[in-house]
Chain A
Amino acid sequence: MPDAKEVILRIKRQVSPKGTPYWEEFALPWRPAMNVIICLRDIAETAVTRDGKKTTPISYDSNCLEEVCGSCAMLINGKARMACSALVDKLEQPIRLEPFSKFPVVRDLAVDRQFMFESLKRVKGWIPIDGTYDLGEGPRMAPETQEKAYPLSRCISCGSCLEVCPQVNHHNKFIGAAIVSQVRLFNMHPTGAMHAKERILALMEPGGIQDCANAQNCVKACPKDIPLTESLAEMNRQAWKQALVGWLIG
C-alpha cells in the first residue's frame, strides 16, 4: 500500500480523429466517493502525468453526471459504462480509460455517436401527431402497457449496446439494439401502431434487425437495464410477419 492513498489511471489518448493513439498515466490523491469524472476533473486542474510531465487536460463528453443524459460512456477497465457512475473504490487499479471503439474518436475519450441519431431518423422514431394545437386527450392506455413501454423509453442513447455488439464492426453496420428497442416502443403506442409498418420496413433494410446474431451482449451492457433481447425478439417476430405478408401479397 502507498503511504498516501492514490488513484492510478491509464488513459488512452488521441489528439484528433486521425491521430495515433498513445497512453498516459496519472496519479491522483484519493478521496472518498470518487468517480471517474472527478478523476478527469482533477487531471484538468493539474494536467501533469504520473512521471511529472506537463500534458493537456483529457477531452471527454459529460453532462448530467447522474446517468440519464448518456454522454459520458467510455471503456473503463475494458467495460462499456458511464464514467459518472463508475465509482473509483469499486474499480481495479490502474483504472484503464479508453474511448468507445465502434465510433469515430473526436479527441481522447470523446467519440462521435451521430450514427445513433441518424438511425432514429431512418426508422421514423416518433409518434406522427397532426400538430401541436389542441386536439384533446391522447389515447387511453392500460397501466400494463405503460409498465411495459416505460422501461423502453428510458434509453439514453449512450451506445453501450453497439459497443459490445459483435455485429457492429468495420464490415457490418448493424443499427444496434437501442434503435430496434425504440421501434418496439413506438409500435406499442396506440397512435404509433398506426404506422408500425413503415418502421418495420426501415428495420428490414441493410444493417437492420436481420443482422442481429443473438450474442446477447447488449442486454448485459445496458446501464438502464432495458430488456433489449426481448425487444430484439419481438421486432424480429414483427419483421418476419411483415416479410410473410409481403411475400403472400407479392
Chain B
Amino acid sequence: MEDAFVFTVLTANATVRVATPLILCAMAGLFSERAGIIDIGLEGKMLGAAFISASVAAVTGSVWLALGAGIALAICLALLHGFACITHNGNHVVSGVAINIMVSGLTVVLGIAWFQRGGQTPSVGPDARFMPITLPFADVLRDVPLLGTLYSGFLSGHNLLVYIAFSAVFATWWVVYRTRFGLRLRAVGENPQAVDTAGISVAWLRYRAVLIGGLLTGIAGTYLAIAQNAGFVQNMSAGQGYIALAAMIFGKWRPVPALGACLMFGLLDAVAIRLQGVVVPGIGEIPVQLIQALPYILTVVLLAGFIGKAVAPKAIGVPYVKEA
C-alpha cells in the first residue's frame, strides 16, 4: 500500500514535470487560435527561447535575465508571425513552419559559433537555474500520513515555472471567458466582420493574442533549458510544441480540457518511462517498443472513441480583409 502510494506520487511528479512545457504552449496556442491565427510555430518559439535563455544563463548566471531574454525572443518570433499573417495576410501554416525551420537551424549555427560545443550551450550551475521551491511547512508535515506526503511530496518541491504554468491555465480561463478582452478575442476568431463593424481593430486584437502566445512560449522554452535541464541541446524541444497543439485541439480550444489533455500526455509519458523493464505479474517483461508506442495508441483510441468532434474557431486561418 505504502509502496503503491509512493509510486503514485513519483509518477504524478514526473507527469507534472513533463506536462509543464505542454501546458504553457497549449495556452499560448489557445490565445492565438481563439483569435483566428493558426500557431504551428509553437515548437520554434519554444526552441528559440530555450536556446537564448540557456545562453544568457550561461553567460550572466542570472535566471531572471535568462527568463527575460527567452520571453523577448519568443515575442519577437510571435511578432514576425503576426507581421506575416495579420499585416500581410500571409498563410499561417507556411509562416509557422518557416519559423520552426529557421529556429532549428539558427540555434545550432549560433550555438556552434558562440560556444563551440557542437551546438550545445555550457551547462549552468544551480544559481542560474530555476530550482525546486519548498512550500511553507513542507518539511514539518512530511511525516503526516497521506495528506502530509501529498503536500510535501507532490504539491511542494517544484520550480517556480511549474506553478506559473498551472496558474496560467486559470488565468487563461478567466481572461478568455470573464473579461471584455476575452469576449472580443473569441469574437475575432469566429466573426471578424462583426468585431470590425463594432469599431474594434481586428489587427490590434490579433496582435495582442499572438503577443500573449509569445510570452507563454518564452516561459515554456526557459523551463526546458534552465529548469527541467541545465543547458541547451540541439532540437531539445523534440516535437513538444506539436504535441501541445494536439492537446489544445483535444481540449476543443478550451483551457481546462486542454490542461487535461496535456496532463494525459504527460502521464502516458511518465508511465511509459517507469514501465520500461518492469516485470508485470503473469505477463512478464513488457517489450520497450510497446511501451513507447503506448501514448500514440492511446491517443488514437481516445480520439476515435471518446473525445468527439472538435470544432475550430470559424475564422481560423482566414486573413481578414476589409471590403473595399
Are these two chains actual partners, yes or no? no
Q: Interface of B with A (CB < 8 Å)?
A: none
